[in-house]
Structure 1
Amino acid sequence: MRKIDSYAHILPKAYFDRMATIAKDKGAIKRWLTIPVLYDLDARLRMMEGFPGYQQILTLSNPPIEMIAGPEDSPELARLANDEMTKIRDAHPDKFPAFVASLPMNNVPAALAEMDRAITELGARGIQVFTNVNGRPLDDPEFWPLFEAASEKHDVPVWMHPARGAGMADYSSETKSKFEIWWTFGWPYETSAAMARMVFSRFFDRLPDLKVITHHMGAMIPYFDGRVGPGLDQFGSRTSDEDYEGLLASMPHRPIDYFKRFYVDTALAGGKSGIRCGLDFFDARQVLFATDCPFDPEGGPMFLRTIPQAIDELNLPQEVQDGIYFGNALRLLKMKCC
């Protein structure tokens, strides 16, 4: 069966080399140096040969461009990333039918220009953002033109990836997150918080055609359907210094209905229960197959095996399974079926 991996990560070699030279914190890229499939295209192609019918939508891997380079240098780095992903797509369209544009989010005018170039000239099928921009939330008014352009000017989806490091402590008495809690539980929280900010900042009311693909099956939202449902129907009752009750009354729909507007992927490290939970919450037409390749214990192939196994064991109707594996991505990205 055809499988389109809608959230596969890559660091093209030219970009990877440039990133390594300018990264201030060499420790931040430690793990990337040990995963050849991430930056060695030949290694990636060899791995993919073992999975007939498997294709990848390329997205640039962590760390965010704006974390690596200042606003003067980030536009050049984004251009390099997008140019290199274009070359890979053009050289191997059977393996990589599309890529997602990366933007220099710490330079909004340059990000808007690069979005235009990447989509109209290079053929990018969407843009990728992270859940915060060096600590600034995505509903900061400065970033609004980027979502407006993606939705209304280009009509492309926005891929949203969590960004949170060990420097975000779990307790106010500490200076860092211990035991990699910042990743295991911090990333789902980070994604859920960004989704909530979009909901209550009225992104979907102001941009009714906005399509946001959230990584890791919508993070915490499906599991906490009661809290975002009946819980947030009481929005504002716990707050005295801001008129959240007035905000709730002004919203045309319940908060939970806005959360259901997000698209999600199956990149849950092979966990079947999480995928089932996500499918119980989100419309199956909004669920995309993804593996998080190559971030698994084997450096690439493990999640290509275990995530399809988890999906197949759910015994979904064939049309639902086909949609998850490839149909939903084809429709969302406006790609040909063959």
Structure 2
Amino acid sequence: MRYIDAFNHFFPKQLWDKMLQADGAAKDIGHRMRGIPCIYDLDERFRVMDQFGDYTQVLSLGMPPLESLGAPAETEEYARLGNDGMAELVAKHPDRFAGFIASLPMNSDNAAAEAERAFKNLGANGLQIHTNVNGRALDHPDFFPVFEMAERYGKPVLLHPSRGASMPDYADEEKSHYEIWWTFGWPYETSAAMARLVFSGMMDRLPDLKVLAHHLGAMVPYFEGRVGPGMDQLGKRTTDEDLGEVLKRLKKRPFDYFKDFYADTAVFGSRAATVCGLDFYGADKVLFASDSPFDPERGPGYIRDTIKVLESIDMPQAEREKISYRNAQDFFGLKRD
């Protein structure tokens, strides 16, 4: 089977070198990532990819969000280096990299302009946007031009969760313990961002916008009952505002908007989660993805485990092809053969 990996991470050399030379958060990220050569070393990347036959990737940057790395002037430079570097990798190695997802300096007034540059000049196949922008929700008016730009160019937005230990799990604590901020916090972050896009009316304002929620739609498939009958009762638990008016403003039932999202198979090799997500979204809305190279083996593990899970699930060949590569071709506007 052919596979196009829709969500995995890499740092182009220009950006990687700049991060290692920088002070503060960027340098710290470089220090931590040194233990995962596959995220910055192209030869190691190819060695991992060679283990999987007819397998290509759509590249995106790794964590953290660029907007967390400094003032707008700094993050704009990081975005330019990252997007230029990604475009160069795709141009030089089309047999390895089917495309790339641009990253933006979301704390800058020039974020939408960088998105347009990436689409027009570099051939970017979509945008990676994190689930909050330095703590601000994605439905903030400042960010609407970015989503509008994506819809204008017919390019998808891929939501990547973002939450750190500085966000506590309990009000009387100053930080999150036991990496709860990641294990359970990231699925919550993605689900909350999806809800904000829905209830703010952004999906109605931009009806042609395609949005993919990383990690198979996060909490949404498992909480189908809450997203469906639960959200049909929006406002029943709220006394200080009339949330019923929100439902009246929406053009569809909340459940139907959540069904409109796309999702990927990056659930760390969990068969149960994969079955649940496929049942909710259907074969037309799910793209193969691995989240490589953040597995314990630092590269091949999640790719191999995700393929194994998909192969263990009985489905028609046409659906298997859609999930494995055909949906990615349509979603990202890749050449079909």
* TM above 0.5: yes
Give the structure 2 partner of residue 114 of structure 1: 114
Query: What SS does structure 1 have at the residue aligned with 2:73?
Result: coil
* Aligned amino acid, residue 52 of structure 2: F
C-alpha contact 2:292 2:303 (8 A) present in aligned 1: yes
Please, which runs of 5 or more residues in structure 2 have no aligned partner? none
Residue 296 in structure 1 maps to residue 295 in structure 2: yes
CA distance in 2, matches of 1:28, 1:43: 19
Residue 41 in structure 1 maps to residue 42 in structure 2: yes
Runs (4 or more) in structure 1 with deviation over 4 Å come to 26-30
Following TM superposition, by how much is the alpha carbon of 1:74 offset from its aligned partner in structure 2, in angstroms?
1.0
Give the structure 1 partner of residue 18 of structure 2: 18
Following TM superposition, by how much is the alpha carbon of 1:47 offset from its aligned partner in structure 2, in angstroms?
1.3
Following TM superposition, by how much is the alpha carbon of 1:192 offset from its aligned partner in structure 2, in angstroms?
0.3
Give the structure 1 partner of residue 92 of structure 2: 91
Residue deviations 1:145-196, cap 9 Å, x none?
1101111x21100011000000000001111111010000000000000000
Which residues of 2 match residues 118-133 of structure 1 at below 5 A? 118-133=118-133
Query: What SS does structure 1 have at the residue aligned with 2:34?
Result: helix
C-alpha contact 1:10 1:38 (8 A) present in aligned 2: yes
Following TM superposition, by how much is the alpha carbon of 1:54 offset from its aligned partner in structure 2, in angstroms?
0.6
C-alpha contact 1:260 1:282 (8 A) present in aligned 2: yes
CA distance in 2, matches of 1:181, 1:204: 30
* Aligned amino acid, residue 254 of structure 2: P
C-alpha contact 2:234 2:244 (8 A) present in aligned 1: yes
C-alpha contact 1:23 1:68 (8 A) present in aligned 2: no
Tell me how many residue pairs correspond in the alignment: 336
CA distance in 1, matches of 2:31, 2:123: 32
Following TM superposition, by how much is the alpha carbon of 1:30 offset from its aligned partner in structure 2, in angstroms?
4.6
Please, which runs of 5 or more residues in structure 1 have no aligned partner? none
Residue deviations 1:258-307, cap 9 Å, x none?
11111000000000110110111113211000000101000000111110
CA distance in 2, matches of 1:29, 1:20: 5
CA distance in 1, matches of 2:28, 2:73: 23
Give the structure 2 partner of residue 172 of structure 1: 171
Following TM superposition, by how much is the alpha carbon of 1:27 offset from its aligned partner in structure 2, in angstroms?
4.7
Which residues of 2 match residues 47-86 of structure 1 at below 5 A? 47-86=48-87
Give the structure 1 partner of residue 150 of structure 2: 150
C-alpha contact 2:20 2:31 (8 A) present in aligned 1: no
CA distance in 2, matches of 1:282, 1:30: 38
Residue deviations 1:302-333, cap 9 Å, x none?
11111011111111111111000000010111
* Aligned amino acid, residue 163 of structure 2: R
CA distance in 2, matches of 1:113, 1:230: 40
Give the structure 1 partner of residue 5 of structure 2: 5
CA distance in 2, matches of 1:55, 1:310: 19
Following TM superposition, by how much is the alpha carbon of 1:17 offset from its aligned partner in structure 2, in angstroms?
1.8
C-alpha contact 2:48 2:299 (8 A) present in aligned 1: yes
CA distance in 2, matches of 1:38, 1:292: 11
C-alpha contact 1:22 1:68 (8 A) present in aligned 2: no
* Aligned amino acid, residue 322 of structure 2: G
CA distance in 1, matches of 2:304, 2:245: 49
CA distance in 2, matches of 1:30, 1:260: 39
Change (3 A) 1:245 1:63: same
C-alpha contact 2:19 2:30 (8 A) present in aligned 1: no
* Aligned amino acid, residue 191 of structure 1: T
Query: What SS does structure 2 have at the residue aligned with 1:18?
Result: helix
Following TM superposition, by how much is the alpha carbon of 1:20 offset from its aligned partner in structure 2, in angstroms?
2.6
* Aligned amino acid, residue 101 of structure 1: A
* Aligned amino acid, residue 45 of structure 1: F
Give the structure 1 partner of residue 212 of structure 2: 213
Query: What SS does structure 2 have at the residue aligned with 1:57?
Result: strand
CA distance in 2, matches of 1:40, 1:224: 39
Following TM superposition, by how much is the alpha carbon of 1:31 offset from its aligned partner in structure 2, in angstroms?
3.4
C-alpha contact 1:19 1:68 (8 A) present in aligned 2: no
Give the structure 2 partner of residue 315 of structure 1: 314
Following TM superposition, by how much is the alpha carbon of 1:63 offset from its aligned partner in structure 2, in angstroms?
0.6
Give the structure 1 partner of residue 32 of structure 2: 31
Following TM superposition, by how much is the alpha carbon of 1:69 offset from its aligned partner in structure 2, in angstroms?
2.1
Following TM superposition, by how much is the alpha carbon of 1:249 offset from its aligned partner in structure 2, in angstroms?
2.2
Give the structure 2 partner of residue 190 of structure 1: 189
C-alpha contact 2:216 2:265 (8 A) present in aligned 1: yes
Residue deviations 1:216-254, cap 9 Å, x none?
000000000000100111001111111101111222211
Query: What SS does structure 1 have at the residue aligned with 2:284?
Result: helix
CA distance in 1, matches of 2:224, 2:29: 34
Following TM superposition, by how much is the alpha carbon of 1:28 offset from its aligned partner in structure 2, in angstroms?
4.7
Query: What SS does structure 2 have at the residue aligned with 1:72?
Result: helix
Root mean square deviation, CA, Å? 1.1
Following TM superposition, by how much is the alpha carbon of 1:73 offset from its aligned partner in structure 2, in angstroms?
1.3
Change (3 A) 1:142 1:280: same
* Aligned amino acid, residue 32 of structure 1: M
C-alpha contact 1:4 1:56 (8 A) present in aligned 2: yes
Following TM superposition, by how much is the alpha carbon of 1:36 offset from its aligned partner in structure 2, in angstroms?
0.1
